[in-house]
Amino acid sequence: MTEYPPTAALPPATAAKKPGTLWQVVAWSAWDWGGAAFNAVMTTFIFTALYLTTDAFGGAKHATAVLGYTLSVSGLAIALLAPVAGQRTDHSGRRKLWLGINTLLVALLTGACFFVQPHESFLLLGCILIAAGTVFFEIAGVSYNAMLLQISTKHSIGKISGFGWAAGYLGGIVALLIVFYTLIKPDVGIFGITSADGMTYRAVAVFSAIWIIIFSIPVLLAIPESTVNPDMPRVGFFRSYLELWRTIKRLAKTSRHTLFFLISSAIFRDGLAAIFTFGAVVAVGSFGFKTGDVLIFAIAGNVVAAIGALSAGFFDDKFGPKSVIVVSLIGLLGSGTALLFLHGKTAFWVFGLILTLFVGPAQASARAYIARLAPEGQEGELFGLYATTGRAASFIAPGLFALFISIFDSQRWGILGILVVLLAGLLLLLPVKAPPHAGAVGH
């Protein structure tokens, strides 16, 4: 069995090359900043937590379960589409073009949430729009993550990946503050918008769509289009799955630990995604948080998560991404277990913030981990596999979250489902060999 390549034979994507300019790094990170409107505002703290999973849509327990099952279906769709999308962008040399197209689709689906009126009959529509937006957001993320290798070197992959995640968290803070003080807090918000007929939260969807579009523009201007890999002939859509299968078999023979990492990260990243999807929902439904509480916690949590992501970049380049991920998962399991058994707002504030501290490093280092392994010209394909393996398992955490709620007839016990997924991911990661990194080779 062939392991990771030795330091002298690092793949071209991580070999010494000219680093990206400061403008390119900032422009690339702006996409993460813009994406916060979908992640933080729509799917985590505002639209789903304070609107779509409330009594207006048939009760928190029912609406949360429907959202969980719908997101499970979207995960299966991502698993089928992401690797082929990444592979085809490698073949065509149109990575930037497809990033723009898929990001636009995310914005349009987000804006369409304006039509979700506060009635149970609109619950499925709202869940489908959020789920479809998640599909295209993840597919766009394949191209976006592959661009990391266009602006980084083996010395800076961890730092730039962490900077991108931090930008996303900080962008979430700004977007949440704007939404709260212009739409949610005032009795009469900007443009005379009130809470009648759910218009406050429906307007949030329009704001989020505009935010996504504006901050996706810099990366499209600053990063050059990817080059066509002449060794990878263009193939049809269905033939792409045959090529994908050949890639998986090749990894199993020549770089088995890469495949092992893809599998283990699929599990723990599903748990990380569930924390963001259901965290605010649990805060409202099980810990008594009100609208203002959610926003304040969201701001504090994003600040802490940004600090965690930035620090992860330093530790990643120094000690390697695996060490950062293992420590982060242990921290998540400890703080999540505390939230399962403790009650009250204070408990959620303390252990919820500890939880957010470890989420950022796990996300940033997982991306840096796979970036260190991506051969030049096949970045999209490997990140497509990264997205696919992650989403191939993405029905597990939402499904277990919904299942434990149904079994114990309590929203709080959904936390147990997330913890099971995080623990499984950690146990699968422990035997995986860490990839080469700058700190390990004396640079």
pLDDT at position 342, please?
79
Give the per-residue SS3 of the chain: CCCCCCHHHCCHHHCCCCCCCHHHHHHHHHHHHHHHHHHHHHHHHCHHHHHHCCHHHCCHHHHHHHHHHHHHHHHHHHHHHHHHHHHHHHHHCCHHHHHHHHHHHHHHHHHHHHHCCCCHHHHHHHHHHHHHHHHHHHHHHHHHHHHHHHHCCCCCHHHHHHHHHHHHHHHHHHHHHHHHHHHHCCCCCHHHCCCHHHHHHHHHHHHHHHHHHHHHHHHHHHCCCCCCCCCCCCCCHHHHHHHHHHHHHHHHHHCHHHHHHHHHHHHHHHHHHHHHHHHHHHHHHHCCCCHHHHHHHHHHHHHHHHHHHHHHHHHHHHHCHHHHHHHHHHHHHHHHHHHHHCCCHHHHHHHHHHHHHHHHHHHHHHHHHHHCCCCCCCHHHHHHHHHHHHHHCCCHHHHHHHHHHHHHCCHHHHHHHHHHHHHHHHHHHCCCCCCCCHHHHCC
Q: pLDDT of 260-280, one tens digit each?
A: 888 888 888 888 888 877 777
Domain range list for the chain = 21-222+234-441
377: its two tokens: 């010209």
Structurally, what CATH architecture does the domain formed by 21-222+234-441 represent?
Up-down Bundle (1.20)
Q: Which of 358, 333, 340, 332 is nearest to 414 (CA)?
A: 340
| pLDDT tens by residue, 359-406 | 888 888 888 887 777 666 566 667 767 766 766 666 778 778 888 888
pLDDT of residue 228: 64
Say what the pLDDT of residue 214 is: 96
Predicted TM-score (pTM) of this structure: 0.75
* pLDDT for residue 163: 86
**Residue ranges in the chain whose pLDDT is less than 50:** 1-16, 440-443
pLDDT number for residue 364: 81
- Give pLDDT, residue 151: 84
Model pLDDT, residue 35: 93
